[in-house]
A and B are shown apart, each in its own frame.
Chain A
Amino acid sequence: MIKLIVQSIRQTILWSLIAGVAYTLVMTGISQVLFRDQANGSLIVRDGKIIGSKWLAQQFTGTNYFWPRPSACTYGTGPSGIVASSGSNLGPTSGALQTNVMNNASAFISGNNLPTNTVVPADMVYASASGLDPHISPEAARLQIARVAAARGLSEDKVRELVEKFTESAQWGFLGQPRVNVLMLNVALDQLATPKPAETAPAPKAG
């Protein structure tokens, strides 16, 4: 028995060194050399400042941006710092979920000035699993084009072109679902040269 305990302790220490230290260090080395950008979180940098990660949704409520899917964890942000990723975990007979679904649908319709009988895509009425889902469906993006174009004084065609550019079909033709990365699309929107909002006002700087 004592012998087994001693062997257990020695084995635990040895494997902590091999599987904990050596394995993690080697894998980090490989990743930092081969896939440096992905390894550090696929960060988006603008004017020398980190403004987000390609994979994490941010909250957008303004009319001049595309909106992401509803989040049960305020997109991982809060007044006291990080908030853990989370879904709503509300069940199929939950009254709270029923209310959320109704509210999300009517907010999407009124926010985008859509006809009241519009079928809102399911991804915009239901909260995502992580609360950080970076993608929306192409349909959900299309329904927002007119609003964003109007708010930015851009032509709808120009915004539609951009949405199409950021629409990814199923990966390699068959894996997963078609999707649009909202944060990347909004960053690209900001980079589009903004036309003069009015004759007299000086042209604002792009970006």
Chain B
Amino acid sequence: MKWNEIVQIVLFFGLGIALTPPVGRFMARVFKGEKTFLHPVLHPIEKIIYRLSGVDPDEEMTWLSYFWAVLLFATVGFAADMAIFMTQQWLPLNPQKLPNCSWHLAFMQAWSFTCNADWQSYTGETVMSYFSQIFAIMVHQFLSGASGLAVLVAVARALKRASIKTVGNFWTDLTRGLLYFVIPLSALWAIPLMWQGVPQTWKPYQTASLMEPYTTQVQKTDDKGNNVTTNIQLVVSSPKLGADGKPEMTNGVAVMVDVPQVDAKGVPIMTNMPVMVDAKVETQSIPVGPVASFESIKQLFTNGGGWYNVNSAHPFENPTPFTNFWEMLAIIVVPMAQVYMFGLLVGNKKHAWCLFNVMLALYALSFVVAWYCETRPNPVMAGAVPNMEGKEQRIGVMNSVLWATSCTAIDNGSVNSMHDSYQPLAGMMPLWNILIGEMLFGGIGCGMYCMLFHVLITVFIAGLMIGRTPEYLGKKLDAWCATWAVCGVLIPNAVALLPTAIALMLPATIGLSSLGNQGPHGFTEILYCFGEAANNNGSAFAGLNANTPFYNIAAGIVIWIGRFAPIISALAIVGRLASKKTVEPSAGTLPTHGWTFGLTLTGVIIIVAALTFFPALCLGPIVEHGLMTAARTF
């Protein structure tokens, strides 16, 4: 622990908290339709957008039609995305002449980006054309983030209403959010990134002549592109037998010899071996593109789908320690501010700060635990510390772990280090943040309404304990609300665990052949895969090769359920509450702020997640930690 690491941590959390009230206040103004400093320029554009899309901005929607609008908007985006991915080789802006994506990759990626999950089972720089990156990916990073925010605004608005059956207009919330907030903030955030060295160009990839060209071996091909093979006798390495017929040993290891194989008749067994030829590698391709403008939206609105395969670990996405800090700050700014905005919109700032503190405490705790575990020596690696596998020199261990826990506590999913190479318990903390529902600030909108489910369950349980009708923000809760709150929590949990179990039970060629690591670590890879899909995160234990029909289709479906089950639950609850009368708080009302409520809520969050996931975590990271301590390898 160095002094400058402490300074960075304090500055990071400090700036996030300091920016919360001003940003939250601005968001609340935008969504209430009040005038901001951007109105003179953007208000005319807002009106044009309504006219061109045939929207009456004052038309009110019921909770169900609001949900349909969210769902249909995402579905149209899905269809467009899938079409772009599957036809990109014929579309413009494809200077690398990249081929079309497979249908299952297109299916998975289209849901992934339109559901704000941004999980990627492809390698950006070698699979996606500029057209796909911009119109199928970046545009939907804007739209999915703004859709989530719109749902939260509708939720807050409905909670404030009384005896009204409607919750607002989706198109108005979407347009205002994008126009006054999401797009200007992304533009602003991109400029320091450009200054530090993130590329922003339309030119094709550049080619550099290597300073030290090298030679490698490739399989020889004939004129038609077929692999050339040669027919030789099969040779198998087997233990050398001594005069007594037992394997000869040196230092406890059997001596191996190459034995030419013959069949029963003594005829040599022949086999086809590839012919290898030297290939000279003299160039390095420098993949550029309009990355900076992509990077800021990816970080700010909890998307996390990177331009390059390794996301923000790539020096072009994240070239300096400052860009690392700036991108990390981008992860927390809006999710933190959304809690404050929620407080302003429902008219209860005390409640919002209470939720804020619960989220912050659990989030900071996950970071501290992960940081501690990651800096312990690993007996398997003979004391080579710190664990720099899958980490970048300019970023270092502390900033890698801080990012890993931030991007999972907050449903962002971008990475600046490879989570797969973390030590078991350090890698468990990002996984834990994902599994508890991504609501330690969480995704844009979705983090807050997922927290709302836990708040309602807490209010319900506390109400049962003190024997009073549970109330939330002046509304009496009934069985409908409790049922939907439980659905909002349990459905994502179910679609995290069930597909994991299915992947393990399927024939090994479908489920297990994708693994990048064996032993309990392999189990963690699959659990992480479906955990993040169910909670729309997008980070990965990337050793798992998920670009297979099974994983693409399964993850695509899980992402879809994980996105829309909480949305319909949240809207169903508040649709019911909006139509109820508001009751004045009485002496029997349980306050939804203060220590008692905060601690009860924390308890509910931990108990729900631990009851659901503790057995799975035991099979993965916890048992792996024990094996690592005993220096066991796989």
Contacts and interface: CB of A to CB of B under 8 A. Distances in A.
Nearest to A131: B310
A48 to B, nearest CB: 11
Interface in A94-127: 94-95, 97-98, 101-102, 105, 120, 122-123, 125-127
Interface in B157-181: 171, 174-175, 178
Contacts of B68: 1, 4
Given A86-B123, A92-B521, A131-B310, A53 B286 contact: yes
A76 B516 CA distance: 20
Nearest to A79: B279
Interface stretch (A20-28, A146-154, A158-166, A193-201): A20-28
Interface string B208-229: 1111101010100000000000
Contacts of A89: 390, 418, 420-421, 516-517, 541-543
A175 B8 contact: yes
A168 to B, nearest CB: 9
Given A92-B521, A93-B380, A177-B396, 7 more contacts: A9-B76, A10-B54, A11-B174, A16-B139, A20-B134, A35-B195, A126-B390
Contacts of B423: 92
A65 B80 CA distance: 50
Q: Which of B400, B517, B518 has the most CB of A within 10 A?
A: B517
Interface string A38-80: 1111111000011111111011111001000100001111111
A28 B315 contact: no
B393 A84 contact: no
A130 B314 contact: yes
B394 A179 contact: yes
B394 A88 contact: no
Nearest to B5: A174
Q: Which of A9, A38, A52 has the most CB of B within 10 A?
A: A38
A40 B286 CA distance: 10
A133 B393 CA distance: 7
Contacts of A10: 52-54
A85 B624 contact: no
A204 interface: no
Nearest to A42: B197
A175 B321 contact: yes
Interface in B185-238: 186-187, 190-191, 194-203, 205-212, 214, 216, 218
Interface in B319-373: 319-322, 324-325
A22 to B, nearest CB: 9
A14 interface: yes
Interface in A131-184: 131-137, 170-177, 179, 183
Contacts, number: 376
B214 to A, nearest CB: 6
B201 A27 contact: no
Given A55-B316, A172-B322, A94 B633 contact: yes
A92 B628 contact: yes
A134 B380 CA distance: 27
Interface string B268-301: 0000000000010101111110101100000000
A58 B321 contact: no
Contact of B284 (A20, A58, A80): A58
A121 B212 CA distance: 24
B384 A93 contact: no
9 contacts: A6-B54, A10-B53, A38-B197, A50-B208, A58-B211, A76-B287, A78-B281, A84-B125, A92-B387
B281 A126 contact: no
B634 A94 contact: yes
A91 B381 contact: no
A10 B77 CA distance: 11
Given A14-B52, A27-B190, A122 B387 contact: yes
Nearest to B634: A93
B72 interface: yes
B286 A65 contact: no
A171 B321 contact: yes
A202 B276 CA distance: 40
Q: Which of A20, A65, A74, A85 has the most CB of B within 10 A?
A: A85
A1 to B, nearest CB: 7
Interface in B54-86: 54-55, 65, 68-69, 72-73, 75-77, 80
Interface in B373-428: 378, 380-382, 384-396, 399-400, 415-418, 420-424, 427
A156 B214 CA distance: 27
A203 interface: no
Interface of A: 1, 3-12, 14-16, 18-20, 23-24, 26-28, 30-32, 34-35, 38-44, 49-56, 58-62, 65, 69, 74-95, 97-98, 101-102, 105, 120, 122-123, 125-137, 170-177, 179, 183, 186-187, 190
A122 B498 CA distance: 39
A44 B284 CA distance: 12
B567 interface: no
A120 B382 CA distance: 12
Interface of B: 4, 7-8, 49, 52-55, 65, 68-69, 72-73, 75-77, 80, 123-126, 134-135, 138-139, 142-143, 171, 174-175, 178, 183, 186-187, 190-191, 194-203, 205-212, 214, 216, 218, 279, 281, 283-288, 290, 292-293, 308-310, 313-316, 319-322, 324-325, 378, 380-382, 384-396, 399-400, 415-418, 420-424, 427, 516-521, 524, 541-543, 624, 627-628, 632-634
A83 B195 CA distance: 27
Given A87-B421, A175-B8, A41 B201 contact: yes
**Which are the 9 A-B pairs with shortest beta-carbon distances?**
A176-B321, A84-B123, A89-B543, A129-B313, A31-B200, A79-B279, A82-B285, A91-B521, A55-B315
A75 to B, nearest CB: 7
A4 B72 contact: yes
Given A38-B195, A176-B395, A97 B389 contact: yes
A2 B4 CA distance: 58
Contact of A7 (B55, B124, B390): B55
Contact of B381 (A40, A98, A173): A98
B209 A50 contact: yes
B421 A85 contact: no
Contacts of B421: 87-92, 97
Contacts of A102: 382
B209 A39 contact: no
A141 to B, nearest CB: 11
B389 A88 contact: yes
A93 B633 contact: yes
A30 to B, nearest CB: 7
A176 B387 CA distance: 16
B200 A27 contact: yes
A19 B178 contact: yes
A91 B632 CA distance: 12
A126 B387 contact: yes
A128 B394 CA distance: 11
Given A10-B54, A88-B390, A171-B321, A97 B542 contact: no
Nearest to B398: A177
Contact of B207 (A12, A14, A50): A50
Given A93-B628, A130-B313, A176 B186 contact: no
Given A90-B421, A135-B394, A41 B384 contact: no
Contacts of A15: 139, 142-143, 178
